[in-house]
Chain A
């Protein structure tokens, strides 16, 4: 994520530039002149937005003075491969467009080196979630094409194929796909080999985090009672700020929502003051990040199956936090999903934000107060000016189905039951 303070005098100009990238509010032009997103074959999602936090005054409930923060522009991309490669490519292909955009930010002049400037403004997330590790945009597109090809073939040959036993149908479709591949009509590239460096880093992360935890455990045990006492006290006294959200603001957000089967979400707010809250947030998000990287790598974040990508980023010396996600369905169903399926997880992270509905032992209550939680979240939601999705019609479940279809096809021999389950995906 590139994060840069906007030059106050240039904000209006920047907003006009961002709007020019859309066909209509909430509907990006994927081939817009400034940043033709669809030209980047490793880009799943992208967004550009002004981080205009409406709630910076909330620290007042703790008797703290409202701080003045710069107004930031954020540019995010969820990509395959290395960020540095993507930045180099985007800087090359969208040179003029990006310069026009970033020239509205502080410290960007005609002489600035674009790539270096973006790198120096990189804001690293503390936690990152990817729905399906290793599924590249290219792979997602190939698998979507594969499904379309199978659909057409099945539709055209229903009479001959409909009553085949599953294993025979599986074999027939394998033959069909092999023929399509050799005729050059279908491509199913093999898994790209994982770079050794990535593999080493990943293994170190996998082992390192638990090791660090073990090393720190004696200290944690000593600190735990004091931590819990303090946390319980805070939980009982931290004020809630869950007033009804301003309808005009909510309507403005809604304008950009529900144009596709997938939506974007950005929420921002200030952390509760004090070390306990900061330590809790950091510890939980390290855990989330570790889990997302090593455990929840195939289509599920705990029970949630609708999130494509998500990330959490600290801002302004850990005073504020911003959360980004790309999810399927409406914001209402997204929030219901969280409350009903992973309320505990939601509470552990977001209850460290000022005004969150009261939790109990960190995991209980909180978002279970549905009305307060939804108002809280809507109030913290930011409008996203520009949002791009590479496969606009595909949900995370669609992508999973397509991947399962492909995996089944590439399995030489299926048992009767496996074949039945595979055929049921078609």
Chain B
């Protein structure tokens, strides 16, 4: 099987927008322009020559990068034909603020889109253009890259500014440590059951036009060959069709405002004023120390897709198998929710017979066995950036000043199936008050704390102990508020040229 998979062409990195491959860590300055299309002709003209950065490795590496992604409304405004747009995935077409979706994503109460700063009803951007630059380079880059046609083409809704906090998110924790390793070479056969956790995930989970973890292709538009699409790559799974999605992906952007003071004041107060204990509680809520070390124990066996550098071992060579009671890393800790690191079966059944026994329902029967869906179907690639000035925990204990600056995260993730990846993760693992056999608590950082019918308590956080009663903290405040968001399509460079020409004349 592996051999037949390798027969396919290699991914043409020069066709993929760089953000899929790189986090642009050296380009510490970034700004995202949320735009509406003012003049379709001018927008097409601007996009046709836009200096979009590809995923090809360059020597020397570029010092700036520009990326473009569209909402469904943006594609329509650009003149992309309706039948082409209609073949994108339903959740992309419906958008983040569709009525039932708000309930699933936890965007209710204070998080409700009606209160967002952008992204609701008439405030949905058509596209986002993301600018990245090495220190000191952003202003010039934006000036040069936008150029003369910019104002004619686009109306600027708002600029999302970012801040470089040196890999630390506003609460003060090292961020972005755990990322899936994309199987770019398509070496792995996803149809084989996964007995042990692996961090290697099928290319098709992050890039459209390639097999996903079910070894199938995800929703995206395929078109008949015509003049406009001549440049597009063929669809692997549909002979004779051109693939508008290939080498592109979906991008989820959410503006998450973080109340850093509320967070540190809460943990300090619940720790009886003790700074060390307060930081321990904060770490338990995150599942890592501020430096990024996991609370779950490191294992000796290697994990596919997790490197063998000391740092990688120290920070990522773990699953939660060695912590079945949650006494090291609470079941409800953010990292345990966001990536439970569970393979296809509980109890690692090695033989076919034991797998069949498990499949028939006669496997491990403990209360917490087999509660979660296998994680390989629900991974996301995170590319978010922080905003607002740094506020160290020790300085966060005083009340906010009247003109307190806003802090938070422009959360960005890439995935090929928004519904099965981002939305599932956000709903079943982050927002759910029933995750992993618990009740009454959602994600300690991200939870909206809104009560549900029949579930008055949703604001707890529990720290299990190896032998003895769990430590339960009631009444967690809401530390994060959603202030905006939208679903975008991040096209390949070929698809961008197609989208920027198909609607003209």
Contact = CB atoms under 8 A, between A and B. Distances in A.
Question: Does A pair with B?
Answer: yes
B452 A393 contact: yes
B363 A166 contact: no
A369 interface: yes
Quick one: which of B344, B365, B373 has the most chain A CB within 10 A?
Answer: B373
A162 B437 contact: no
A165 interface: yes
Contacts of B439: 395, 398, 401
Contacts of A368: 191, 214-216
Contacts of B99: 254-255
B469 interface: yes
Contacts of A393: 452-456
A163 B216 contact: no
A303 B373 contact: no
A96 B358 CA distance: 50
Interface in A136-170: 154-155, 158, 161-166, 169
Given A303-B361, A369-B216, A332 B93 contact: no
Nearest to A344: B359
Given A247-B93, A303-B359, A392 B469 contact: no
Interface stretch (B112-120, B252-260, B277-285, B426-434): B426-434
Interface string A296-337: 100011110100000000000000000000001110110011
A259 interface: yes
Interface string A390-402: 0111110110110
Interface in B102-120: 103-104
Q: Which 5 A-B pairs have the closest CB atoms?
A: A393-B454, A392-B454, A254-B100, A302-B361, A393-B455
A340 interface: yes
Interface stretch (B24-32, B135-143, B178-186, B417-425): B417-425
A240 interface: no
Contacts of B360: 302
Contact of A333 (B93, B367, B428): B428
A342 interface: yes
A303 B370 contact: yes
A265 to B, nearest CB: 15
Interface stretch (A54-62, A195-203, A418-426): A418-426
Contacts of B454: 260-261, 391-394
Interface of B: 87, 90, 93-94, 98-101, 103-104, 191, 212, 214-219, 325, 344, 358-361, 363, 365, 367, 370-371, 373-374, 377, 419-420, 423-424, 427-428, 432-434, 437, 439, 452-456, 464, 467-472, 474
A82 interface: no
Given A165-B468, A296-B361, A330-B424, 13 more contacts: A166-B468, A247-B90, A247-B94, A305-B371, A329-B428, A329-B434, A333-B373, A340-B344, A370-B216, A371-B219, A397-B434, A425-B367, A426-B469
B367 A404 contact: yes
B94 A371 contact: no
A261 B423 contact: no
Nearest to A162: B469
A250 interface: yes
A169 B87 CA distance: 59
Contacts of A400: 367
Contacts of A258: 100, 103-104
B380 to A, nearest CB: 15
Nearest to B360: A302
Contacts of A53: none
Contacts of A421: 367
Given A261-B434, A300-B361, A393-B452, A426 B470 contact: yes
A370 B470 contact: no
B453 A336 contact: no
A251 interface: yes
Interface residues of A, number: 62
A424 B464 contact: yes
Quick one: which of B217, B344, B467 has the most chain A CB within 10 A?
Answer: B467
A257 interface: yes
Contacts of B470: 424, 426
B424 A332 contact: yes
Nearest to B90: A247
Contacts of A426: 469-470
B377 A340 contact: yes
A376 to B, nearest CB: 14
Interface string A96-112: 00000000000000000
Contacts of B101: 254
Contacts of A257: 100
B434 A260 contact: no
Contacts of A337: 373
Interface in A160-188: 161-166, 169
A251 B474 CA distance: 36
A154 B374 CA distance: 34
Given A336-B424, A401-B439, A165 B467 contact: yes
A224 B44 CA distance: 63
Nearest to A369: B216
Interface in A253-272: 254-255, 257-261
8 contacts: A163-B468, A250-B90, A255-B99, A260-B452, A261-B452, A303-B363, A333-B424, A369-B214
Contacts of A328: 434
A261 B424 contact: no
B147 to A, nearest CB: 38
B455 A261 contact: yes
A183 B349 CA distance: 49
A386 B453 CA distance: 17
B216 A162 contact: no
A395 B440 CA distance: 12
Contacts of B468: 162-166, 169, 423
A257 B427 CA distance: 13
A395 B434 contact: yes
Contacts of B98: 251, 254
A364 to B, nearest CB: 10
A179 B367 CA distance: 28
B286 to A, nearest CB: 22
A392 B471 contact: no
A259 B103 contact: yes
A248 to B, nearest CB: 11
A260 B453 contact: yes
A139 B249 CA distance: 49
A369 B211 CA distance: 11
B361 A162 contact: no
B421 to A, nearest CB: 11
Contacts of B325: 424
B464 A340 contact: no
Nearest to B191: A368
Contacts of B90: 244-245, 247, 250
Interface string A369-409: 11100000000000000000001111101101100100000
A212 B472 CA distance: 54
Given A302-B361, A332-B424, A370 B373 contact: no
A395 B367 CA distance: 14
B214 A305 contact: no
Contacts of A397: 371, 434, 437
A70 B317 CA distance: 60
A163 B214 CA distance: 48
B218 to A, nearest CB: 7
A344 B193 CA distance: 14
A369 B370 CA distance: 23
B370 to A, nearest CB: 6
A98 B365 CA distance: 43
A253 to B, nearest CB: 9
Contacts of B464: 424
A400 B367 CA distance: 8
Nearest to A250: B90
A152 to B, nearest CB: 11
A336 B367 contact: no
Contacts of B455: 261, 393
Contact of B469 (A164, A332, A344): A164
